[in-house]
Structure 1
Amino acid sequence: MADPKKKMSVTQLTFIVTVNMMGSGIIMLPANMAQVGAISLLSWIVTAIGSLAIAYGFAQAGIFNQRTGGLAAYAEEAYGKDGYFQVFFLYFISLAIANVAVASSALGYLAAFFPVLSSTPAISCVSVIALLWLTTVANFGGPSLTGKIGSITVWGVILPVGFISVAGWIWFSGQTFTAAWNPKGLSLFEGMGSSISLTLWAFLGMESASQNASAVENPKRDVPLACMFGTAGAALVYILSTTVIQGIVPNAELAASTGPFGLAYAKMFTPAIGSIVMALAAMACVGSLLGWQFTLSQTAKDAADTRMFPAIFGKANSMGAPIAGMVIMGVVQSVMALSTISPDLSKQFAALVNLAVVTNVVPYIISLSALFVMMRNAKVEPAVYRRNGIVAVVAMLYSVYALYAAGKDAVMGGMLVMAIGYIVCGFIAPRFREMRASTDRPA
């Protein structure tokens, strides 16, 4: 057993959760939300409540089930190996989609220095694919360097976003914000639902706290608290930063920007400062993409090692890099980039975010619904069962609403991904029976 003095406190875990969420997810949001108007900021209210409910549900699930596998392991409690595989597969594909979205974010900021990269839709698409392969090949050397780079580059997002959330109000103009409020004449309900997918995108990864349960002093107390405080902290920064930027940059300029935070800093200070922020954001996006590319391939390797995925994904070189899996997912992500090609990066980013949210939210619903089985198995007190059950229902209802808000194109894409998942599952399903037989066989 680890020395309790060497374990994380609830404050440290909360900070980790907040930093994990505040990666590159926020970096293009102001521009995309400005295309609807400042009324889209109302989406944060719905998403903050829904995300807190989801985070709490996963924190509770992590207490009752501390096996490896995260969401998939939770689903297995209620739906067996078939549920495990479907949740894993959808979540796995959502990571690949998110990587393409992060690549388009990085390109938007790089284009400020190299305009040719986004000069035409075809060149933009080729540039996104080049970034995907650059970060894929960079991971061939194994996880050590990747982890070090990611822990540094993430601050390229956190520092500018954090600063503008606190100090940006000095430059805030009520007149600019009012003019940006509702240029499309949306109703209040339409405004609240207009950017649900975009705002939820910024919270993806909130479930990560439960993965660190074994590293904290008091998991039953600290994990739920860190989930809630971390999500609330990220929500506060997100809401403040996207609101203040609407009062600094005129809406039309913000909506057309491929680097909204750089544009805001240029307005606040000088174009040179804006360029520095653009460079920091580009660095953060590339560093984030580098880390997520390895996470994607490592997730597939772990599944292959447990015979839950084709064996080719489990083959690693001497430095621990699953190169075959990386190459396969590089091809898959390139196809995704081609299939979402758009006249501008903001529209491509929005299409990818909607699809990523759909393929994330379905595993959320399945995993959260398994919480009821976990609580019955753990024989929790009725009061705890009712409290957790109410929060889980709120989380699942919000998740269903997020599916609706993502739009029919994204939902159709998610259904196609799920259908492919069942095809893959059909080939490996006999392994599930073998696993059960070996588990049931007496020692």
Structure 2
Amino acid sequence: MAATGKKMGLTGLTTLVAVNMMGSGIIMLPSSMAQLGAVSLLSWIITAIGSMAIAYCFSQCGIYCTRPGGMSAYTEEAHGKSAFFLCSYLYFLSLAIGNVAIAISAVGYLTPFLPWLGSGAIPLFVGSVGLIWLTSLANFGGPKVTGQIGSVTVWGVIIPVAGLSVIGWFWFDPDIFRQAWNPNGIATSDAIAQSIPLTLWAFLGMESAAQNSDAVENPQRNVPLACLLGTLGAAVVYVLSTSVIMGIVPNAELANSSAPFAFVYAKMFNGWVGDIIMALAVMACVGSLLGWQFTLAQTAKVTAEQGMFPRLFARVTLLGAPLLGLIANAVLQTGMAVSTISPNASEQFSKLVNLAAVTNIIPYITALSALLIIMQKAGVARGIQYRNMVALALAMAYSFYALYASGTEAVFGGMIVTAVGYLLFGYIADRMLEQRMALKEQTP
């Protein structure tokens, strides 16, 4: 065990949680939310509370279930080996869908530099697929290079977004915000429901917080606190930045912008500053996509090592890069990009985010449901169990609401890919049986 002095404290872990979540998740949201109006900002409150409950429950799962595998391992504790596969499979798909959405975000911010990219559906598709393959090929250098690049590029989003939360209020116009409140005249409840998948998208990644518990001082205290404080910190930045931007840029202009943060900085200062923000956003998106491509490949690799994904995903180079897995993933994401072709970056982004939310929420639900069994197996004190059950009820309520709010099309798509997942497990179930028989034979 590492010496206590070398472990991460509460402040460091809280910062890590907030930075991991913020990434590029916020970068296109103002434009997507502006299509509903500023009334959609109310969904931040619901999502922040629900996300903190989910993050807290995952931190408890991580503390009391230390086996590798993350959400898939938690799910298996309650639902068996097939659920491990289904959780990994759906999480893998959600990451792949999310990567396409991040690529679209990057292309949106590249458009002012390369106007051709914004001239129609095909240029947007070509730009997105180009970035997908570029970041996949860049991962051939292995995890060390990927990690070093990502730790720098992520600040390309965090600094402008957090900065806008503070300085943007000097340009805030209450009249512009008031006119943007509900331009379409839709019911408040409908506006909140339609924007829930968008705000949830910004918090995806919170499930990774508990993975660092073995490198943290006093994890029973600091991991849950860091999850809550880090999620709350990200929520504050999200709410302030999206609120202030809707009081600076008229709603119609914001809704049609492919680079909302660059657009608002250009309005606040000048076009030169806007160009700098655009360059930072592109850098952050490419860095984030680079990291998520590797995470996607690693998710497939871990599942393949369990005998549940094709063996090609488990093969790595001398540098530790899952080469064939990265190529296969790029092919899959290219197919996803084809299926969602649209001339409007914001529209295409929203469609992908809804589907990514559904394929992520189902693993959330299966993993969260295992907390009760995990606590029973670990012999957790009754008082802690009661406290965690309250958080679990809140996390589940939000998860089901977010699933409902994702819309018929996204839920239908999620149902189809889930059904396909069960079919796929049927084809590999004999491998599980062979492994169990082999273990029995080896046991004296």
Compute the TM-score of the two structures, normalised by the length of structure 2: 0.97
Q: What displacement does 1:80 show?
A: 1.2
Q: What displacement does 1:188 show?
A: 2.3
Q: Which residue number in structure 2 is paired with residue 88 of structure 1?
A: 88
Q: What displacement does 1:434 show?
A: 3.6
Give 3-state SS (helix, strand or coil) of 2:80's partner. helix
Deviates more, 1:344-353 or 1:381-390: 381-390
Code of the aligned partner of 1:221: R
| Cα distance in 2 for residues equivalent to 1:155 and 1:63 | 29
Give 3-state SS (helix, strand or coil) of 1:308's partner. coil
Confirm or deny: 8 A CA contact 1:172 1:247 kept in the other structure: yes
Query: Are the structure 2 counterparts of residues 437 and 226 from structure 1 closer, same or farther at C-alpha, using a change threshold of 3 Å?
Result: farther
Q: What displacement does 1:242 show?
A: 0.4
Q: What displacement does 1:283 show?
A: 0.8
Code of the aligned partner of 1:369: S
Code of the aligned partner of 1:194: Q
Confirm or deny: 8 A CA contact 1:66 1:213 kept in the other structure: no
Q: Which residue number in structure 2 is paired with residue 268 of structure 1?
A: 268
Give 3-state SS (helix, strand or coil) of 1:295's partner. helix
Confirm or deny: 8 A CA contact 2:354 2:410 kept in the other structure: yes
Q: What displacement does 1:323 show?
A: 1.4
Query: What does residue range 229-244 of structure 1 map to in structure 2 within 5 Å?
Result: 229-244=229-244
Code of the aligned partner of 1:410: A
Q: Does 1:48 align with 2:48?
A: yes
Code of the aligned partner of 1:377: K
Code of the aligned partner of 2:44: W
Give 3-state SS (helix, strand or coil) of 2:394's partner. helix
Confirm or deny: 8 A CA contact 1:14 1:230 kept in the other structure: yes
Q: Does 1:100 align with 2:97?
A: no
| Cα distance in 1 for residues equivalent to 2:111 and 2:421 | 36
| Cα distance in 2 for residues equivalent to 1:189 and 1:345 | 26
Q: What displacement does 1:439 show?
A: 5.4
Confirm or deny: 8 A CA contact 2:36 2:182 kept in the other structure: yes
Code of the aligned partner of 1:172: F
Q: Which residue number in structure 2 is paired with residue 429 of structure 1?
A: 429
Code of the aligned partner of 1:262: A
Q: Which residue number in structure 2 is paired with residue 32 of structure 1?
A: 32
Deviates more, 1:417-426 or 1:50-59: 417-426
Query: What does residue range 155-304 of structure 1 map to in structure 2 within 5 Å?
Result: 155-304=155-304
| Cα distance in 2 for residues equivalent to 1:411 and 1:124 | 26
Deviates more, 1:234-243 or 1:143-152: 143-152
| Cα distance in 1 for residues equivalent to 2:58 and 2:166 | 30
Query: Are the structure 2 counterparts of residues 48 and 439 from structure 1 closer, same or farther at C-alpha, using a change threshold of 3 Å?
Result: farther
| Cα distance in 2 for residues equivalent to 1:191 and 1:360 | 22
Query: Are the structure 2 counterparts of residues 5 and 420 from structure 1 closer, same or farther at C-alpha, using a change threshold of 3 Å?
Result: same
Q: What displacement does 1:343 show?
A: 2.4
Which 5+ residue runs of structure 2 have no aligned equivalent? none
Q: Which residue number in structure 2 is paired with residue 147 of structure 1?
A: 147
Code of the aligned partner of 1:78: A
Q: What displacement does 1:148 show?
A: 1.1
For 1:293-345, what per-residue CA distance to the aligned partner results, in whole angstroms no more than 9, with x for missing partners?
11111221122223232111111222221111111111110010010111201
| Cα distance in 2 for residues equivalent to 1:194 and 1:426 | 35
Code of the aligned partner of 1:327: I
How many positions carry a matched residue from both structures? 443
Code of the aligned partner of 2:276: I
Deviates more, 1:253-262 or 1:287-296: 287-296
| Cα distance in 1 for residues equivalent to 2:178 and 2:5 | 52
Code of the aligned partner of 1:102: I
Q: What displacement does 1:206 show?
A: 0.6
Deviates more, 1:431-440 or 1:197-206: 431-440
Confirm or deny: 8 A CA contact 1:358 1:414 kept in the other structure: yes
Q: What displacement does 1:194 show?
A: 2.5
For 1:75-110, what per-residue CA distance to the aligned partner results, in whole angstroms no more than 9, with x for missing partners?
011011111111111001100000000000000000
| Cα distance in 1 for residues equivalent to 2:349 and 2:112 | 17
Q: What displacement does 1:437 show?
A: 4.3
Q: Does 1:131 align with 2:154?
A: no
Compute the TM-score of the two structures, normalised by the length of structure 1: 0.98
Confirm or deny: 8 A CA contact 1:207 1:227 kept in the other structure: no
Confirm or deny: 8 A CA contact 1:120 1:343 kept in the other structure: yes
Give 4+ residue runs of structure 1 displaced > 6 Å after superposition: none
Q: What displacement does 1:420 show?
A: 2.3
| Cα distance in 2 for residues equivalent to 1:51 and 1:437 | 41
Q: What displacement does 1:139 show?
A: 1.3
| Cα distance in 1 for residues equivalent to 2:170 and 2:25 | 25
Q: Does 1:358 align with 2:358?
A: yes
Give 3-state SS (helix, strand or coil) of 1:24's partner. coil
Deviates more, 1:304-313 or 1:429-438: 429-438
| Cα distance in 2 for residues equivalent to 1:37 and 1:393 | 31
Confirm or deny: 8 A CA contact 2:261 2:277 kept in the other structure: yes
Deviates more, 1:11-20 or 1:373-382: 373-382
Q: Which residue number in structure 1 is paired with residue 331 of structure 2?
A: 331
Confirm or deny: 8 A CA contact 2:35 2:255 kept in the other structure: yes
For 1:34-66, what per-residue CA distance to the aligned partner results, in whole angstroms no more than 9, with x for missing partners?
010000000101101110110111011111101
Give 3-state SS (helix, strand or coil) of 2:25's partner. helix
Q: What displacement does 1:431 show?
A: 2.5
Query: What does residue range 381-392 of structure 1 map to in structure 2 within 5 Å?
Result: 381-392=381-392
Q: What displacement does 1:123 show?
A: 1.6
Confirm or deny: 8 A CA contact 1:27 1:261 kept in the other structure: yes
| Cα distance in 1 for residues equivalent to 2:312 and 2:443 | 31
| Cα distance in 2 for residues equivalent to 1:327 and 1:418 | 24
For 1:110-152, what per-residue CA distance to the aligned partner results, in whole angstroms no more than 9, with x for missing partners?
0111010121111211211111111111112222221111111
| Cα distance in 2 for residues equivalent to 1:28 and 1:147 | 24
| Cα distance in 2 for residues equivalent to 1:316 and 1:379 | 39
Code of the aligned partner of 1:2: A
Code of the aligned partner of 1:173: D
Q: What displacement does 1:270 show?
A: 0.8
| Cα distance in 2 for residues equivalent to 1:288 and 1:112 | 21
Which 5+ residue runs of structure 1 have no aligned equivalent? none
